[in-house]
Structure 1
Amino acid sequence: MSRGTEPRTAAVRRLERGLPLHRVIDVTRPKAWADLDESVRRAALHGDLNPSHTWLTGTESTEWRRLWRRQVPASPPPPPHPSPPPKPSEARLALALCDPDGRIREAALPYAAGRPELLPLVAVRAADWAEPVRARALALLRAELPGASHETLAVTAPVILRLTARLRGDGAAGLLDGLLRTGPGSAAGALLLGCRDAATRRAALGIVLDRGLYDGLGLALVAAGDHDPVVQERAASAAIAAGEPGATVPVLLGARFGRVRAAGVTALRGAGRHAEAEPYLYDRSGRTRACARWVLRRGGTDPADVYRAACAAPEVPDRAPLGLGECGTRAVDAPRLRELTAHPDGRVRASAVAGLRLLDAAEPRRMKALLEDPDPRVVREAARALRPWTG
């Protein structure tokens, strides 16, 4: 057994023991649901799993077999039994929904009504190869999705979007898209702010932008709080385009992500506040520093002169030598950066070494000596500067 199949087999065993789904798989990962479906089916086909579905009745009728031979769904689908027995446990129902026999999968679907913890498996069945299963699952999704809680939607929507890659996955995706575009705006907002899946947040952001659900401040907060670079950039660009710099720019500038701060710095130029970009010349993000230099140039200030003054000051900003190396000239600025390699602050020394490397002015003898520096940041930068000589 390969390492990749071991966790899946363990998940099937836990499900067979009756454990709830949240203790069997990571329910927030859309791939986990498809993997569980495949694992249960494979285990049953190989004889490693013998689930009992005695709580299901009616799957052996003549009409049922006729429909399955023709692969035509009943209209409406016949109920699996006239009077349903008590509801099966979550684990039993999950096993039935993943069973290799399509008749079992279809018969189990009505029991998933009102069971939000199983809605992601219903979404998997909505992309089933068998049309009777697929039709019944889509009907159940159509009934359940509008009333689903934000938590349930945040778990189910990623599964639906992931299944669009399958041949028959478009039906559920159309239902979800219709709900998010025509239903309450809070549904799309909940996915954007509360879903762990980046692809789902991207889709939700597109709908939020299309519907105009958020103002500039709201979009700036999304950009500042999201970890996905695509969401960050799209939300930041939309926040700037909203034309509310007084509300949006401070939020963007205070973000912990460099690309979001860079967007905020760029927005200073549109607001005519060029001078406010100067503190961001020393930002930890190279992208933000580059945007700050561009804004200052647009305002008539040479950023290299600002860096030179900062490097000559009694208190040298940590990244001033690095910034000087990014926009200065070798003949003018290399001597000053060499002096700063002896600065008492290790962060300034490391920044000076990086600046010399960018100016192609690093001297091998000096870099070798800095390999003995007590600050590991200086050692790392010196080693990096020596690579052209060491291979």
Structure 2
Amino acid sequence: MPAGGSAGIMTAVGDLVDRLFRRLRTLFGRVPAAAVPARGAAVRDLRATVPARPAVPDLPEGVPDLLLAACHPNGYVREAAVTALGERDDVTALPVLALRAADWVPEVRDRARRVCARWLDRAPAEAIAGLAPAALALQARQEGRWLAQAVGDVLRDGPPEALAAALASEDRRTRRLAYTTGVRTLDVDHLVHAARTDSDLPIRVLCAEAAIRSTGDPEVARRLLTSRTAAVRAEAVRALAAAGDTGPAVEALTDRSALVRATAQVALRRAGTDPATRYRALLADQRPPRPAVIAGLAETGTRADAALLRPWLAHPSSRGRAETVRALRHLGDTPRDLLLPLLTDEVSSVTRQVVQSLEGHTLDEHHLRPLLHPPHPLHVQRAAYRLLCAQGVWTRISVDLELVATPDHALCGTARSDLGEWLRRDAATTYSVPDGPRATELSGLLAEAEPFLSRESTRSLRFCLNLT
């Protein structure tokens, strides 16, 4: 804070009292005599309430200690530390200066901003490397926009070395801003390299689009066809197809990524080719077919193609089986008798797909209940539990009570939470009660689970199940 800050406040207090007396003259034509002696007392009393500027302890000499002082809770200490750091030519201070440039105290903030501005003007490359990560991380703060804007201005209008420093930064925000700002100035090789290797997905996509757009050379797009990023491969396929080369689109029909397949399918349709025909041919030729072929036929085919896919529920790879279940569901074909055996698949991804396909079916509860328990693996138990709960409210309550009464079961906690959720949310809108054998079953299960339930839960369940 500026020297003499307390004196400035006292001056302001005196001005306030003077304005008060001027207002009295306006109202009464003069200041009441009784108020005159009070003027000096009022000023003295008000001045007595103004705290004196606290003494700032002696600051350390070393930069590490000054960095700690710049984070002190006392604003005067932070201000003094920022001033001292501004007098030292040490880049290690830049992140803390960036933090203080967004300080809530105006005097601290202004001093830090002046120091940062000097760094950006005098040594832009070093300043960008030290300030940009913190500035961009803090830009959402109330006072954080100034430094982020200053960094962006230097990247846009400053020397090339500043942009180069930002492009080489390990901070993804800094690199992202640098590429967004300077993408038009970068050569194609740099863009292709970044599109293939940068760790940040938005940067890879940005550079791929810029590289393809900058020259219009199909060879640039071909270099990106082998990228590990689906969005980059898709952009390369789209660009080549737009240039009249649909060969990569044909190859991309069997890409692992749905985004790339969709791009290829659109490109081939525009070229007058039906991608479903190509998928059917591949399905007939490949034994076993690649999972992407199964997925692609579901994406482009009709319900009649479900008959071609059903045999591959026995695909030798788990991904092939999971993709077949998903593909059949996409085509509106969920054959219960064919899917139920896959509930016990050794791979959880297959089981999850089966559950999604069977949730709308009415299933045999007596077939599913044995799957709730060992020796079936946990993912099979979870699948059986989810399907049983979808069979109706009393089946759901029955399964929950059975599992709650088995405290060492892996799904006991899940069942207890589900039972509590039903009591809180759904019980009040369940307008029927169990009867006959189901009521007898639930009564017995509640008696077994009672030692593991709270008294309130037990009482509520007895009431809701009409077992009182």
TM-score by length of 1: 0.71
AA aligned opposite 2:345: D
Following TM superposition, by how much is the alpha carbon of 1:380 offset from its aligned partner in structure 2, in angstroms? 3.4
- Contact 1:268–1:295 under 8 Å retained in 2: no
Question: Could you tell me whether the CA contact under 8 Å between 2:119 and 2:127 is conserved in 1?
Answer: no
Deviation at 1:172, TM superposition (A): 2.1
Q: Distance in 2 between matches of 1:241 and 1:229?
A: 18
| 1:339 and 2:314 aligned | no
CA 70–126 in structure 1, closer or farther in 2 if over 3 Å, else same = farther
Residue identity opposite 1:261 in structure 2: R
Distance, in Å, in 2 between the alignment partners of 1:70 and 1:261 is: 69
Partner residue of 2:135 out of 160, 163, 181: 160
Shift in CA distance, 160/334, structure 1 to aligned 2, threshold 3 Å: same
AA in 1 matched with 2:144: G
Indicate the structure whose relative CO is greater, using CA pairs within 8 Å and at least 6 residues apart.
1
For 1:180, the aligned partner's letter is L
* Number of aligned residue pairs: 315
Which amino acid counterpart does residue 233 of structure 2 have in structure 1?
R
Amino acid paired to 2:205: E
Which residue identity does 1:177 align to in structure 2?
Answer: G
Structure 1 residues 297, 62: CA separation in 2 closer, same or farther (over 3 Å shift)?
closer
Once the 2 structures are TM-superposed, how far is the Cα of residue 286 of structure 1 from its aligned partner?
Answer: 0.8
- Of stretches 185-194 and 294-303 in structure 1, the one that deviates more from structure 2 is 185-194
**In the TM superposition, what whole-angstrom CA distance separates every residue of 1:136-192 from its partner, at most 9, and x where no partner exists?**
212211222356586773452132133333343343234312321222234334424
Q: Does 1:379 align with 2:351?
A: yes
Match of 1:105 among 50, 64, 78: 78
Matches within 5 A, 1:1-391: 63=4, 65-66=6-7, 87-90=61-64, 92-112=65-85, 113-146=88-121, 153-198=128-173, 200-209=174-183, 212-315=184-287, 316-331=289-304, 333-389=305-361, 390=387, 391=390
Contact 1:224/1:251 (8 A) holds in 2: no
| Distance 1:173-1:70 versus aligned 2 partners, 3 A rule | farther
From the superposition, tell whether residues 240 and 160 of structure 1 become closer, same or farther in structure 2 (CA, over 3 Å): same
Q: Which residue of 1 aligns with 2:433?
A: none
1:336 CA drift (Å): 0.8
| 2-structure distance, mates of 1:362, 1:66 | 82
- Alpha-carbon shift at residue 246 of structure 1 (Å): 3.5
Deviations 1:67-94 (A, max 9, x none): 78899xxxxxxxxxxxx9983240x212
Matched-pair contact (CA < 8 Å) for 1:114–1:144: no
Contact 1:275–1:296, Cα closer than 8 Å, also in 2 = no
| TM-fit CA distance, 1:302 | 1.1
Q: What runs of 5+ residues in structure 2 fail to find an aligned partner?
A: 13-57, 362-386, 391-468
Secondary structure (helix, strand or coil) at the match of 2:334 reads coil
Q: Distance in 1 between matches of 2:59 and 2:321?
A: 75
**Which residue identity lines up with residue 208 of structure 1 in the other structure?**
G
Find the aligned partners of 1:143 and 1:247 in 2 and give their Cα distance.
45
Query: Could you say which residue in structure 2 is the equivalent of 1:23?
Result: none
RMSD: 3.0
State the SS of the aligned residue for 1:293. Answer: helix
Question: What runs of 5+ residues in structure 1 fail to find an aligned partner?
Answer: 1-58, 72-83
- Partner letter of residue 252 of structure 2? Y
- Asked if 1 retains the 8 angstrom alpha-carbon contact of 2:128 and 2:151, the reply is no
The whole-number CA distance in structure 2 between the counterparts of 1:361 and 1:371 is: 17
Q: Is the alpha carbon distance of 1:165 and 1:388 closer, same or farther for their aligned partners in structure 2, counting shifts above 3 Å?
A: same
Q: Displacement, 1:119?
A: 0.8
Q: 8 Å contact 1:269–1:298 — kept in the other structure?
A: no
Q: With structure 2 as the length reference, what TM-score do the two structures score? A: 0.60
Q: Which has the larger radius of gyration?
A: 2
Residues 68, 244 of structure 1: alpha-carbon distance in 2 compared, 3 angstrom cutoff = farther
Structure 1 pair 86/69, CA: closer, same or farther in 2 (3 Å)? same
Structure 1 residues 16-43: Cα deviation after superposition (integer angstroms, max 9, x where no partner): xxxxxxxxxxxxxxxxxxxxxxxxxxxx
| Secondary structure of the structure 1 residue equivalent to 2:112 | helix
Contact 1:320–1:351 (Cα < 8 Å) also in 2: no
Equivalent AA in structure 1 for residue 79 of structure 2: E
